[in-house]
Amino acid sequence: MLRVEGLKKSYKDFEVLKGIDFEVPKGCIYGFLGKNGAGKTTTMNILTGLIGFNGGNVFYDGKSFKDNKRSILSMIGYVPQDPVFYGYMNAYEYLKFIGGLSGMVELDIKRRSEEVLSIVGLKEAAKRKVGGYSGGMLQRFAIAVALFNRPKMLFLDEPTSSLDPQGRMEILSLIKELKEQGITVFFSTHILNDIERVCDQVTILDKGVVLVSDELKALKDKYIKPIYDIELEEPCEEVAAKIKSLEWVQNVVCHNTMMSVYVSDIEASKTKLLGIMADSGAAVISYSLRKSDLEDIFIRLVNSDENL
Amino acid sequence: MMRTFKAYFKKEIIESIRQYRYVIIAIGIVFFAVSNPILMKMLPKILSNQMSADLSSLFVVTRRAALINHIGDLLEIGFLVIIFTLSSTLSDELISKKLVFPYSKGCSPAQMVVAKFIHHVLATSLIIVLGFIINYYYVNILITGDDVPFLSYMLSAVLVGVYFMFNIGMCMLFSSLFKKGFVAGLISIAVSYSLIPISGINAIKAYMPYRLISAATAFSIEGAVTAIITAAAVSTLFIALTCYRMSKAEVI
Ligand SMILES: Nc1ncnc2c1ncn2[C@@H]1O[C@H](COP(=O)(O)OP(=O)(O)OP(=O)(O)O)[C@@H](O)[C@H]1O
Ligand SMILES: [Mg+2]
């Protein structure tokens, strides 16, 4: 669907994007993750044609963005981070304006307005002035506007960051619905939980560089390693040495009576570790499995810790 | 083909109604169309209270003088009202990021600029013509002597309209360049006023927009054709530059 190659963008001497590459397959939900100032918004503004770029290439369905800008723009929708509308219009009027710009005919505009407003659940408020909408309503209306001319791909820049938990869930389930309708969704966020909930693929961006870009599952398999935290009554050096020699144990960190066991094979550890502990005769006070999540991966990656 | 033009022309109408732009401009223009003849009517009486009778008889206000006086008023107050109402037409769209959705939907910047320009020129011209009709009516019922034909006065309205078109074009260019509409307005007014003294220079007189006003106050198109053509050409240039600027502007 979308391929980005060596994309670069600078503001004066400040290089915001230092040559990023990634590929978004058709029909997936693509998470774009990064800290504040990582360059997420900049990337999305480029991909939606609002600002130019200084180097690299962008391809939609194999077609170069530079040469086919208008036709490509007509098949994508963008929900910017802080959407702004003509506040003196009501939802119908604004959609009519957008429909007119997109070259839709009157009848289609009417039908589509009803459709998108019910998708985002704004039908009741549709006759009110957009200027009086709450933050969550604006966000939802922005999605309605972006969806209006039936784009094949939708970009959402931090769609959930200004919403309360319920609003976030609503947007996330909306994103899932869009995927079912065959729309490719690309959304940026710094809320890892959102990514874990809905994304198929993730790219982590930091300081204008892509750290990883992979399927969420592969990412988890690759980076998430289970750790057992075991507390003993006695200092644990002896037991630790014994466990360390096991084939499926990667490392054991020992600190007084606390021991952290890094395992490489979760299945083996589940069935065997407890038995080995019991056989060793050590008095175990507590035993728990710490599951590292995307958050850990993210933090470890952006802190450029190679020893994952 | 013309979809951006149509969408923006309609949008400007809705915006001008909802934000009382028409009302503000109409008040700015119609108020003087009415008050000016009333003041002109009272002027000799006010003066006669302060001067000897034979001196005040020199201040006889004729219809012609009243109409000329109205045009003068329009160029001062009405002009300021119009420029400041329109000077944020592009700066506001840019600075408050209102163009993000339209641009991401493939809006044509050139069509948007032309739609705004034509809308603003049409709206102000219509209100100016309305103001002239109202003014003509009041001058005729309040003041006597030295008649000016109605059609000649309408011709003046058109000439004033062309003068405003030139200024609106310039104002839109500044509006696309400056972040604050107020600044764009001030600069437009400064440039426009500084052209007035230059307009006296014989070599360039015929080309200057202020020539249109001289013709309007003479109620004759004579010698103003060059100025009309020049004003139209320069306005087109302003608008072309504005289109270029808006197609390069980063809207986010
Ligand atoms: N117009 C601009 N001029 C100069 N620098 C800019 C401009 N726009 C963005 N930047 C810089 O580029 C960097 C990336 O900004 P960007 O908005 O893309 O970050 P982001 O990942 O979206 O952050 P956030 O999570 O805060 O939205 C920032 O350091 C920012 O200061
Ligand atoms: Mg951002």
pLDDT for A248 equals 85
The verdict on a CB contact (< 8 Å) between A50 and B101 is no
Protein residue with least CA distance to atom 9, ligand 1: A42
Q: Which residues contact B250 (CB under 8 A, 6 or more apart)?
A: A50, A51
Protein residue with least CA distance to atom 12, ligand 1: A16
CA A27 to chain centre: 15
Ligand 1 atom with minimal separation from the A208 CA: 14
The vertex-B71 CA angle with B68 and B77, nearest 5°, equals 140
Question: Min CA distance, B234 vs chain A (Å)?
Answer: 29
Pick A93's closest partner by Cβ from B14, B97, B104. B14
The vertex-A227 CA angle with A226 and A228, nearest 5°, equals 125
Q: What is the mean pLDDT of residues A243-257?
A: 84
Q: What is the pLDDT of residues B160-206, one digit of tens each?
A: 999 999 999 999 999 999 999 999 999 999 999 999 998 888 889 88
Q: Are β-strands A209-215 and A201-206 bridged in parallel, bridged antiparallel, or unpaired?
A: antiparallel
Which of the residue ranges A45-49, A189-193, A223-227, B235-239 has the most confident prediction, judged by mean pLDDT?
B235-239
Give the chain A residue whose CA is nearest to the CA of B102. A98
Pick B104's closest partner by Cβ from A73, A93, A97. A73
- Going from the Cα of B12 to the center of ligand 2, the distance in angstroms, rounded, reads 31
**Residue B72 structure tokens:** 């003068």
The verdict on a CB contact (< 8 Å) between B252 and A45 is yes
Q: What is the mean pLDDT of residues A251-255?
A: 84
Nearest to A210 by CA among A22, A12, A3: A22
Please state, in angstroms and as integers, the Cα–Cα distance from residue B93 to each residue in A107, B111, B165, B246, following that order: 29, 15, 21, 11
β-strand partners of A63: A60
* Ligand 1 contact, A82 CB (< 6 A): no
Which residues on chain A are in Cβ contact (under 8 Å) with B250? 50-51
For residue A296, is pLDDT > 70? no
Dihedral in degrees, nearest 10, Cα atoms B223, B226, B231, B236: 160
Q: What is the pLDDT of residues B52-86, one digit of tens each?
A: 666 656 667 899 999 999 999 999 889 999 999 99
The verdict on a CB contact (< 8 Å) between A84 and B98 is yes
Phi, psi of A225 (to 5 degrees): -120, 125
Q: What is the pLDDT of residues B17-58, one digit of tens each?
A: 999 999 999 999 999 999 999 988 887 777 777 766 666 566
CB A280: neighbour CB atoms within 10 A?
14
pLDDT for A307 equals 43
In which residue are the tokens 């560089």 written?
A: A209
Protein residue with least CA distance to atom 30, ligand 1: A37
Helix (H, G, I), strand (E, B) or coil at A61: coil
Written in H, E and C, the secondary structure of A117-158 is HHHCCCCCCCCCEHHHCCHHHHHHHHHHHHHCCCCCEEEEEC
Phi, psi of B250 (to 5 degrees): -85, 120
Please state, in angstroms and as integers, the Cα–Cα distance from residue B77 to each residue in B3, B27, B155, following that order: 36, 11, 21
Protein residue with least CA distance to atom 28, ligand 1: A37
Average pLDDT of chain B?
92
Residues B146, B137: Cα–Cα separation, whole Å:
15
Give the chain A residue whose CA is nearest to the CA of B6. A100
* Ligand 1 contact, A41 CB (< 6 A): yes
Exposure of A94 in the CB half-sphere (CA atoms within 13 A): 28
The pLDDT-based confidence of A154 (bands split at 50, 70, 90) is very high
- Going from the Cα of B243 to the center of ligand 1, the distance in angstroms, rounded, reads 27
Please state, in angstroms and as integers, the Cα–Cα distance from residue B244 to each residue in B111, B120, B177, following that order: 11, 19, 11
For residue A298, is pLDDT > 80? no
Residues A172, A175: Cα–Cα separation, whole Å:
5
Helix (H, G, I), strand (E, B) or coil at B24: helix
The verdict on a CB contact (< 8 Å) between B96 and A84 is yes
DSSP state of A38: S
**Residue A125 structure tokens:** 């408020």
Residues A242, A233: Cα–Cα separation, whole Å:
17
Pick A101's closest partner by Cβ from B4, B100, B250. B4
The pLDDT-based confidence of A304 (bands split at 50, 70, 90) is low
Protein residue with least CA distance to atom 2, ligand 1: A11
- Going from the Cα of A92 to the center of ligand 1, the distance in angstroms, rounded, reads 33
Ligand 1 atom with minimal separation from the A81 CA: 27
Ramachandran assignment for A256, one of left (phi > 0), alpha (psi -120 to 50 degrees), beta (any other): left
The verdict on a CB contact (< 8 Å) between A50 and B7 is no
DSSP state of A39: S
Ligand 1 atom with minimal separation from the A38 CA: 21
For residue A235, is pLDDT > 50? yes
The vertex-B15 CA angle with B10 and B17, nearest 5°, equals 100
pLDDT for B57 equals 63
Which residues on chain A are in Cβ contact (under 8 Å) with B93? none
Q: Are β-strands A29-34 and A209-215 bridged in parallel, bridged antiparallel, or unpaired?
A: unpaired
Give the chain A residue whose CA is nearest to the CA of B3. A101
Output B67 or B252, whichever has higher pLDDT. Answer: B67
Taking the Cβ of residue B103 and every Cβ of chain A, the question of whether any pair is shorter than 8 Å is answered with yes
Output B215 or A280, whichever has higher pLDDT. Answer: B215
Protein residue with least CA distance to atom 17, ligand 1: A41
With contact defined as beta carbons under 8 Å apart, do A57 and A5 qualify? yes
Q: Which residues contact A213 (CB under 8 A, 6 or more apart)?
A: A21, A22, A23, A201, A202, A203, A204
Output A201 or A289, whichever has higher pLDDT. Answer: A201
Pick B11's closest partner by Cβ from A48, A77, A86. A86
* Ligand 1 contact, A11 CB (< 6 A): yes
Q: Are β-strands A284-290 and A153-157 bridged in parallel, bridged antiparallel, or unpaired?
A: unpaired
The verdict on a CB contact (< 8 Å) between A80 and B10 is no
- Going from the Cα of A157 to the center of ligand 2, the distance in angstroms, rounded, reads 7
With contact defined as beta carbons under 8 Å apart, do A193 and A271 qualify? no
pLDDT for B150 equals 96
The rounded percent of chain A whose pLDDT value lies above 90 is: 49
Could you report the predicted ipTM of this complex, rounded to two decimals?
0.91
Taking the Cβ of residue B97 and every Cβ of chain A, the question of whether any pair is shorter than 8 Å is answered with yes
Dihedral in degrees, nearest 10, Cα atoms A76, A82, A84, A88: 130
Ramachandran assignment for A237, one of left (phi > 0), alpha (psi -120 to 50 degrees), beta (any other): alpha
Q: What is the pLDDT of residues B99-136, one digit of tens each?
A: 999 998 888 999 999 999 999 999 999 999 999 999 99
Buried b / exposed e over A43-72, threshold 16 CB at 10 Å, is bbbbbbbbbebeebebbbeeeebeeeeeeb
Residues A221, A213: Cα–Cα separation, whole Å:
14
> Would you say the pTM of this structure is higher than 0.90?
no
